[in-house]
Amino acid sequence: MTYELNTAQMLKNQMGELAADKHVKYIISIEKKKDSFESMVMEHLRMNGAYWGLTTLDLLGKLDAVDKEEVISWLMQCQHESGGFAGNIGHDPHILYTLSAVQVLALFDKLDVLDIDKVSNYISGLQNEDGSFSGDIWGEVDTRFSYIAICCLSILHRLDKMDVDKAVNYIISCKNLDGGFGCTPGGESHAGQIFCCVAALAITGALHHVDKDLLGWWLCERQVKSGGLNGRPEKLPDVCYSWWVLSSLIMIDRVHWISKEKLVKYILDCQDLENGGISDRPDDAVDIFHTYFGVAGLSLLEYPGLKAIDPSYALPDDVVNRIFFGK
Ligand code: GRG
Ligand code: ZN
C-alpha cells in the first residue's frame, strides 16, 4: 500500500497532476450553459456529447453528479421510429448517435429500457451486400460504421443479426501495405480508422488478420518530440490520438513501443488548470471531445485515481464486465 502510494505520488511529481475536480465542473457546466458557443456547435451531435461527457464523469468516479432519469428521458426522445437514434430531439437518426445512445444506457445500467430487436434491426439493416455498413439511409460507407455496428450489436448481444464474416472481410479489404487501415478500400491509413478496424476485429475475435509488428511500427511512429501522438505522418500531435493510437497499440500488445511517461505529460500539459477541460494541443481552447479523449487516454495509461477503460468498447471495464458477465 505504502509502495503504491509512493509510486502514484512519484508519477504525479514527475508529470504533473490531473485537475479532476475542475474537469468535473467543466463537464457539468456545459450542460447548464445551453446558450453558450460550445452548446450551439454541439446542438446537432448532442448524443455524442452526452457519451463523451458522461463517460469522462464515470472514469473520474462522478457519474452520480448528473440526474440519470433526466438524461434517459431526453435520450429516449431522440429515438426514431426506425429504431435508430438522432443527435438531438427531432433530428434524423444515424448509426453514429445510435452507438452513443446505447453506450450511455450501458453506463447507467439501463439497457433494459430499449426495444433491443428494434435497435438491432436498424443497425443490421444498414449492412450492404459487400459486408460494409452505411451510416444512415443516405448510404455513406466507412469503416467507422463497421466498428459501430459490431460494437453496438455486441453490447446488445445481437451480433448474430449481421453477417459477421462478410463484415470482417470488408474491413480486411481496407487494410493497406503499411499495416494500417483506411475508411474504404484504398483509403489512406489514419489512426482513427485504424482504431475502428482493430477494435472491430478484436470484438469479433479476428485480430489474427492484423500484422501486429508492421502496424505497431506505424502506430509507435506517431509519437512526436513533445510526447504527443499524431494521426498520420507529418501531422501535428493532438490529444484525441491518445485514444485512437494508444487503444490500438494496446489491442495488438505493442503499447510498450511508445513512451507512456511522455504521453502522460503531454496530455496533462493540455489541461485548462483554471476552468477545467482539456484541449487538442497545449494552450488551445478546451472542448468536451478532447476532455474525454485526454481522460480516457490517461485511463489507458493507468494514471492513478481513474477507472480502467476497455480499449475496444470505449466503456469503463466495470460496465463491459456487467454487460458480458452480469457483474
Ligand atoms: C466510441 C471512441 C468511439 C468511437 C466511435 C466515430 C468513431 C466510432 C470513430 C471515429 C474515428 C476517426 C476517423 C477519428 C479521427 C477523428 C479526427 C481527429 C479526424 C481529423 O482528421 P484530419 O485529417 O486531422 O482533419 P489530422 O490530425 O490528420 O490533421
Ligand atoms: Zn483531435
pLDDT, position 302: 96
Helix (H) or strand (E) holding 90: none
Name the pTM for this structure: 0.94
SS3 content of the chain, % helix, strand, coil (to 5): 55, 5, 40
Q: Is the CB of 147 under 6 A from ligand 1?
A: yes
What percent of the chain has pLDDT above 90?
89
C-alpha 290 to ligand 2 mean position (Å): 6
Whole-number pLDDT of residue 16? 80
Residue 123 confidence (pLDDT): 98
**Predicted pLDDT at 156:** 98
C-alpha cell belonging to residue 223 = 509519437
Distance from the alpha carbon of residue 268 to the mean position of ligand 2, in angstroms: 15
Q: Is the CB of 192 under 6 A from ligand 1?
A: yes
Ligand 1 mutation pick, 143, 151, 190, max ligand atoms within 8 A of CB: 190
CB-CB contact of 59 with 51 (8 Å): no
Which residues lie below 8 Å from residue 280, measured CB to CB, with a gap of 6+?
A: 238, 239, 240, 270, 290
Give the residues of the chain that fall short of pLDDT 50.
1-3
The pLDDT score that the predictor gives to residue 2 is 45
Measured in Å, residue 196 CA sits from the centre of ligand 1 at 10
Alpha carbon of 239 to ligand 2 centroid (Å)? 6
Mutate to test the pocket of ligand 1, among 195, 230, 281 (most ligand atoms within 8 A of CB): 195
Total length of the chain: 327
User: Which of 144, 239, 292 best tests ligand 1's pocket when mutated (most atoms within 8 Å of CB)?
Assistant: 144
pLDDT score, position 32: 72
SS3 for 156-172 is CCCHHHCCHHHHHHHHH
- CA–centroid distance, 44 to ligand 1, in Å, is 18
CA dist., res. 206 & res. 316, Å (int): 22
Task: Determine whether the shortest distance from the Cβ of 240 to ligand 1 is under 6 A.
Answer: yes
Fill in the DSSP letter of residue 187: P
Q: How many helices (H) and strands (E) are present in the chain, helices listed first?
A: 15, 0
pLDDT of residue 1: 42
